[in-house]
Homo-oligomer: A and B are copies of this chain.
Amino acid sequence: MGGDIFGRELRLISFGESHGPVVGAIVEGAPAGLPLSEEDVQRILDLRRPGQSELVSQRAERDRVEILSGVFNGFTTGAPISMIVRNEDIDSSYYEEISRFPRPGHADYVARLKYSGYNDFRGGGRFSGRLTVSMCMAGAVAMKILEKLGIEVMAYSLEIGGERAEGFTLDDARNYRYMNPVRAPNEESYLRMAAAIERARREGDSLGGIVEAIALNVPPGLGEPIFDTIEGDIAKAMFSIPAVKGVEFGSGFRAARMRGSEHNDPIRVIDGKIRYKKNDHGGAIGGITTGEPIILRVAFKPTPSIAKPQETVDLELLRNVEIKVKGRHDPCVVPRAVVVVESMLAFTIADHIMRSMRGAI
C-alpha cells in the first residue's frame, strides 16, 4: 500500500477515485506568501477538461476546484493546500462489469489481485485518467513557484498516430498549443493530428503519441547525485501519468547511435556567460541542471478503451470471453495529457527548487 505521495520538499498527495465523491490533491511544503486563488487552479484544470470538441470524450464535467485549506487572504500560508473537485455526471452502470471482465490494457485485473477485490473498480477507480485532475491542481501551485523565478514550462503534442509536428518554433508552440484541441504546436500539424484521431474514432480504435515538454530559464544546479537526479525524478513523475511507456531527455534514444564527438555539447563563453553550444544533453548532465532548457519526450500508448471487440476472461467462470468496452472514451489521450505533463514537470522542478535553496553555507 502507499504510493500516493510524490516529491520530497514539495509534496503532492493524491486522493479520490474516478466515481467516488471527489478527486483531490494536497500540496504540502509550499512556501508561505505565494498568491493563489481558485481561479489560478481552475485555469490549469480547464486545459485538461473534456467536452470541448469531438476529439475528446463527452463526459460533461465542470470540474470546479474548491480550495479547502492553506490559502488565506489570497496567499498561501505555508500550511497544506488541499483542493477538491467533486465528481459529477457519473454513470457507474457501465462499469459494474469491470470487476468480472477485466478490460485489456487497463489495470482492472491486477488491481483486483493487488487489493483482494476491495478496490473501487468503478470507472477504473484510482487507475482512471481522471486522477490526473489532482496532478493539474498541484501543477497550478507549482507554477506559482516557478513564476517567481521566471521559469516557464511548456508541453505540446509532438506526434499523434504517427503524425509528427514539424517546422514549428518555440513561439509557435507557446502561442498555439492551447488554441487547438489536440494541443499541437502549429496549425499544419493540428490538422494532420486531428484527422488521424477522427479516423481512428470512426473505426472504433485509438491512437498513441508523444508529448514533448520544455522548461525554460531553469537555474543550473537543480538535481542531486546520485539518485535524486532531475531526470530520474521527472521520469518518475511522468510514469505516474496513465498510459506512459517511455521517457527520454535531450537526444534521448537517438544518443545511442551518436558518437561522443557528435553528442558532447561544447561549452562556450557567450556574451560573457558560460553556455552550451547546443543542447543534446537536454538540460541536465550528471543529474544536475545546466541552465540550458530541460527538454524531454514522453511516449503514450493508444487509449486502451476502444469500441472494437476484444479478448479477455470471465474472472468468475475462469474462461475466455469477448467484450466490447462501453463508456465514453477519448480516441487519444495525448491532447488531454499535455497539461498534465506540464503540471508534473512544473511540480518536479518546484520540488527541486525547494530542495536547492540550501546550498553551501
Question: When the two chains form the complex, which single residue of B21, B208, B242, B259 contacts A256, counting CB atoms closer than 8 Å?
Answer: B208
Most buried by B among A9, A122, A285: A285
A22 at the interface (CB under 8 A from B): yes
1/0 per position for A229-270, CB-CB distance to B under 8 A? 101110111111010111111111101111111111111110
> With A and B bound together, what is the CA distance between A122 and B69 in angstroms?
13
A316 at the interface (CB under 8 A from B): no
A72-87 CB contacts (< 8 Å) to partner B: 72, 75-80, 82, 84
7 A–B pairs (Cβ distance < 8 Å), ordered by A: A22-B68, A24-B69, A32-B116, A78-B114, A206-B260, A263-B304, A268-B320
- Smallest CB gap from A265: residue in B: B104
Is A15 within 8 A of B70, CB to CB? Answer: yes
Known pairs A26-B26, A33-B116 / 15 extra A-B pairs, C-beta < 8 Å: A3-B287, A15-B69, A15-B80, A76-B118, A77-B119, A104-B265, A104-B266, A107-B287, A107-B288, A116-B360, A205-B259, A226-B240, A246-B248, A256-B300, A267-B312
Is A310 within 8 A of B266, CB to CB? Answer: yes
- If A31-B361, A115-B77 touch, does A245 touch B249 (CB 8 Å cutoff)? yes
| Cβ of A200 to closest chain B Cβ, rounded Å | 7
1/0 per position for A14-30, CB-CB distance to B under 8 A? 11110011101010111
| Cβ of A76 to closest chain B Cβ, rounded Å | 7
A1-45 CB contacts (< 8 Å) to partner B: 1-6, 8-9, 11-17, 20-22, 24, 26, 28-34
A96-142 CB contacts (< 8 Å) to partner B: 102, 104-107, 109-111, 113-116, 118-120, 122, 125-127, 131, 134
